[in-house]
Amino acid sequence: MNNHPAQPDPALAVEVTGVSRVFTVRKGADVTALDNVSLTVAPGEFVSLIGPSGCGKSTLLRLIADLDTPTAGEIKVFGKAARQARIDQDYGIAFQQAGLLPWRTVAGNIELPLELHGTSRPVRRARAADLIALVGLSDFADKYPDQLSGGMQQRVAIARSLAESPSLLLMDEPFGALDEMTRERMQNELVRICAETRAAVVFVTHSIPEAVFLSDRVVVMSPRPGRIRDVLSVSLGDQAQRGENLREDESFFQGVSRVRELLHGEAPAGARGVETR
């Protein structure tokens, strides 16, 4: 998996060590979004962060992306500080909102990161065309975002996050705003894209089946303060083999119920029925 022979080959894509993030709210009441969280992601590994609202999963992703800085602890991305990794463009990112620029075409949006980093026009064009084909939007390259459905916009956003062939993809509920049908189709496509690009993925979601279907490991988090409750190895086999029929598979259902138990049930107090949603 040595995509960058020039760089020292780091053993880990992401290394989060003892990270806390405290938000200072007015009137002095601090909110601890993350409390002493540690997590590693291996190169090429697909890790989902799942948990109820307010468990800090998005905060953790934003810290890895260096869109926010931790109050305590250390984050390394490919062996570098998160800030350096951001400046070196070691990751691609996709948000819940597609966040496309409405005045640019599909191709123009995908070319954006390449353009900002000084890639020449012909190279940009070729790369965008490849990515548009990868996400199955070849007929829409010259359309504007408001001419596309929500699912298509999100596919453009994913193509854009892949523009610079990152070895790490950070995804913050990218399918959260989509309907169930579109969502499952997008998950199938993401599995295929990940198998092709061999990138490591950190994927924030609040959908249990989504986490189980996509991931090698599912990180279950609990809120107030945000902590990692457990990490579950799903191991449903190679990503390339994951397909529509996996959703009917016994191992898939087992994974789903195990994650559900971790999320709802075996809380330390054993207080069933007071599920925090």
Partner 1 sequence: MRPGPISGAGLARTALPPVLLGVAAVLLWQWAVVAFEIKSFILPGPFLIGEEFAANLQNVVNGMTVTGRNALIGLLVGAVLGILAAIVAALLRTVDEMGAPIVASIAVVPIVALAPVLYTMFGAGAETARQIVAGLAVFVPVYFNTLKGLRQVRPVHRDLMRSYAATSWQATKTVTLPTALPFVFTGLRIASSLAVISALIAEYFGGPVGGLGKSITSSASGSNYGLAWAYVLGSILLGLLFYAAALGLEKLVSRRTSG
Query: Which strands, in side-by-side order, build the sheet including 227-233?
Result: 91-94, 168-172, 200-205, 46-50, 217-222, 227-233
The DSSP code sequence of 195-263 is HHH--EEEEEES-HHHHHHH-SEEEEEETTTTEEEEEEE---S-GGG--GGGGG-HHHHHHHHHHHIII
| Residue 118 contacts partner 1 per CB under 8 A | no
Contact segment (CB under 8 A) with partner 1 among 7-15, 69-77, 83-91, 194-202 equals 83-91
Q: Which is nearer to partner 1, 102 or 268 (CB)?
A: 102
Q: Which of 124, 116, 151 is nearest to 136 (CA)?
A: 151
Burial class (CB in 10 A: 0-12, 13-18, 19+), 131: buried
Q: Which is nearer to partner 1, 66 or 216 (CB)?
A: 66
| Residue 158 contacts partner 1 per CB under 8 A | no
Question: Quick check: helix, strand or coil at residue 194?
Answer: helix
Q: Which is nearer to partner 1, 10 or 99 (CB)?
A: 99
Q: Which is nearer to partner 1, 117 or 272 (CB)?
A: 117
CB atoms within 10 A of CB 106: 29
Q: How far is the CB of 220 from partner 1 (least distance, A)?
A: 26
**Span 135-154, contacts to partner 1 by CB under 8 A:** 143-147
Could you say which of 22, 112, 141, 177 contacts partner 1 (CB under 8 A)?
A: 112
| Residue 43 contacts partner 1 per CB under 8 A | no
Could you say which of 8, 26, 29, 103 contacts partner 1 (CB under 8 A)?
A: 103
Note the residues at the interface with partner 1 (CB under 8 A): 62, 65-67, 86-87, 89, 91, 93, 95, 97, 99, 101-103, 105, 112-113, 116-117, 143-147
